[in-house]
Structure 1
Amino acid sequence: MIEPEPDQFCSCGCGRVRMVPQIIEKLAHKPAEIYIKKEVYQKYTCRNCDRFVQARTKSRVFDYTRFDDSAVVGILVSKYADFLPLYRLEQIFGRSGARLSRATLSRLTLKAGALLKPIYEALLIDIKADSKLFADETRIPVLQPGLGKTKTCFAWALCRDDRRWMGNKPSAVAFHFATSREGRHAEAILEGFKGTLQVDAYAGYNRLTRKDRAGGPLTLAFCWTHARRKFEPIEKSGSIEAREVLRRIGELYGIEKVLLSQNASAAVRQAVREVQSKPIVDDLFGYLEVLSSQIPSKSVLGEAVNYTMKIRHGLRIFLTDGRVEMDNNAVENTIRPLALLRKNALFAGSEFGGKVWTIMSSLIGTCKLNGVEPHAYFTWVFEKLANKLPLSEYDKLLPWHCPKGLTAI
Structure 2
Amino acid sequence: MTSTTDLAHLDAEALRALAARLMAEMQVKQTLIDKLTHEMAVLKRIKFAASSEAYTGEQQRLLFETLDTDIEALTAEIEQLAPAKPADDQNEKRQPRRAALPASLPRKDVHHEPHATTCHCGCQLQRIGEDVAEKLDYQPGVFTVERHVRGKWVCRQCETLVQAPVPPQIIDKGIPTAALLAQVLVAKYLDHLPLYRQSGIYGRSGFAIPDTTLAQWVGVCGVRLQPLVDALIEHLLAESVLHADETPVAMLKPGLGKTHRAYLWSYCSTSINTMKAVVFDFAESRAGRHAGEFLGNWRGTLVCDDFAGYKALFREGIVEAGCMAHARRKFHELYANHKSQIAEEALKLFGVLYDVERQVQGLDIKARQMLRHKLGKPAADTLHAWLLAQRQRVPEGSATARAIHYSLERWGALTRYLEDGAVPIDNNWVENQIRPIALGRKNWLFAGSLRAGQRAAAVMSLLHSARLNGHDAHAYMKDVLERLPTLPASRIDELLPHRWTPA
TM-score (norm 2): 0.68
Structure 2 CA distance for aligned equivalents of residues 195 and 295 of structure 1: 38
Q: Quick check: 2:181–2:478 contact (8 Å CA) kept in 1? A: no
Aligned residue for 2:264, secondary structure, equals strand
Structure 2 CA distance for aligned equivalents of residues 184 and 124 of structure 1: 18
Q: Quick check: 1:372–1:400 contact (8 Å CA) kept in 2? A: no
1:156-305 to structure 2, matched below 5 A, reads 156-163=265-272, 167=273, 169-210=274-315, 213=316, 217-236=317-336, 237-260=338-361, 263-305=362-404
AA paired with 1:226?
Answer: H
Aligned residue for 2:267, secondary structure, equals strand
Structure 1 CA distance for aligned equivalents of residues 357 and 434 of structure 2: 23
Aligned residue for 1:284, secondary structure, equals helix
1:115-154 to structure 2, matched below 5 A, reads 115-154=224-263
AA paired with 1:369?
Answer: L
AA paired with 1:372?
Answer: H
Indicate yes or no: 2:503 matched with 1:402: no
Shift of 1:162: 4.5
Q: In structure 1, what is the equivalent of residue 67 of structure 2?
A: none
Shift of 1:398: 0.5
Q: In structure 2, what is the equivalent of residue 365 of structure 1?
A: 464
Q: Quick check: 2:170–2:221 contact (8 Å CA) kept in 1? A: no
Aligned residue for 1:65, secondary structure, equals coil
Question: Percent identity, aligned pairs only?
Answer: 38
Shift of 1:187: 1.0
Shift of 1:48: 7.8
Structure 1 CA distance for aligned equivalents of residues 179 and 287 of structure 2: 39
The structure showing larger relative contact order (alpha-carbon pairs under 8 Å, at least 6 residues apart) is: 1
Indicate yes or no: 2:423 matched with 1:324: yes
Shift of 1:51: 5.8
Shift of 1:55: 4.2
What is the number of residues matched between the two proteins? 364
Q: Quick check: 2:182–2:477 contact (8 Å CA) kept in 1? A: yes
Structure 2 CA distance for aligned equivalents of residues 65 and 153 of structure 1: 34
AA paired with 1:93?
Answer: Y
AA paired with 1:62?
Answer: I
Shifted more, 317-326 versus 392-401: the winner is: 392-401
Shift of 1:363: 0.6
Indicate yes or no: 2:187 matched with 1:78: yes
Q: Quick check: 2:277–2:498 contact (8 Å CA) kept in 1? A: no
Deviations 1:328-380 (A, max 9, x none): 11111111223322222222222111011111111111111111111221222
Deviations 1:299-337 (A, max 9, x none): 111111111111111011011111111111111111122
* Structure 1 unaligned blocks of 5 or more: 1-29
AA paired with 2:359?
Answer: V
Aligned residue for 2:149, secondary structure, equals coil
Deviations 1:269-295 (A, max 9, x none): 211222222122122222222222222
Return closer, same or farther for 1:147/1:101 CA change in 2, 3 Å cut-off. farther
Structure 2 CA distance for aligned equivalents of residues 265 and 365 of structure 1: 25
Structure 1 CA distance for aligned equivalents of residues 319 and 156 of structure 2: 77
Q: In structure 2, what is the equivalent of residue 17 of structure 1?
A: none
Return closer, same or farther for 1:325/1:51 CA change in 2, 3 Å cut-off. closer
AA paired with 2:485?
Answer: A
Shifted more, 174-183 versus 80-89: the winner is: 80-89
Shift of 1:72: 0.7
Shift of 1:45: 6.4
Structure 2 CA distance for aligned equivalents of residues 45 and 383 of structure 1: 30
Q: Quick check: 2:369–2:418 contact (8 Å CA) kept in 1? A: yes
Shift of 1:130: 1.2
Structure 2 CA distance for aligned equivalents of residues 47 and 272 of structure 1: 80
Aligned residue for 2:165, secondary structure, equals coil
Shift of 1:49: 6.5
Structure 2 CA distance for aligned equivalents of residues 104 and 304 of structure 1: 53
Shifted more, 199-208 versus 375-384: the winner is: 375-384
TM-score (norm 1): 0.83
1:17-28 to structure 2, matched below 5 A, reads none
Structure 2 CA distance for aligned equivalents of residues 73 and 31 of structure 1: 11
1:26-45 to structure 2, matched below 5 A, reads 32-43=141-152
AA paired with 1:183?
Answer: G
Shift of 1:144: 1.7
Q: Quick check: 2:321–2:416 contact (8 Å CA) kept in 1? A: yes
Q: In structure 2, what is the equivalent of residue 69 of structure 1?
A: 178
Return closer, same or farther for 1:282/1:73 CA change in 2, 3 Å cut-off. same
Q: In structure 2, what is the equivalent of residue 385 of structure 1?
A: 484
AA paired with 2:296?
Answer: E
Return closer, same or farther for 1:385/1:31 CA change in 2, 3 Å cut-off. closer
Structure 2 CA distance for aligned equivalents of residues 186 and 400 of structure 1: 23
Return closer, same or farther for 1:399/1:74 CA change in 2, 3 Å cut-off. same
AA paired with 1:123?
Answer: L
Q: Quick check: 1:62–1:68 contact (8 Å CA) kept in 2? A: no
Shifted more, 280-289 versus 192-201: the winner is: 280-289
CA RMSD, Structure 1 to Structure 2 (Å): 2.0
Deviations 1:130-177 (A, max 9, x none): 1111111112222222332222211211111343xxx4x421111112
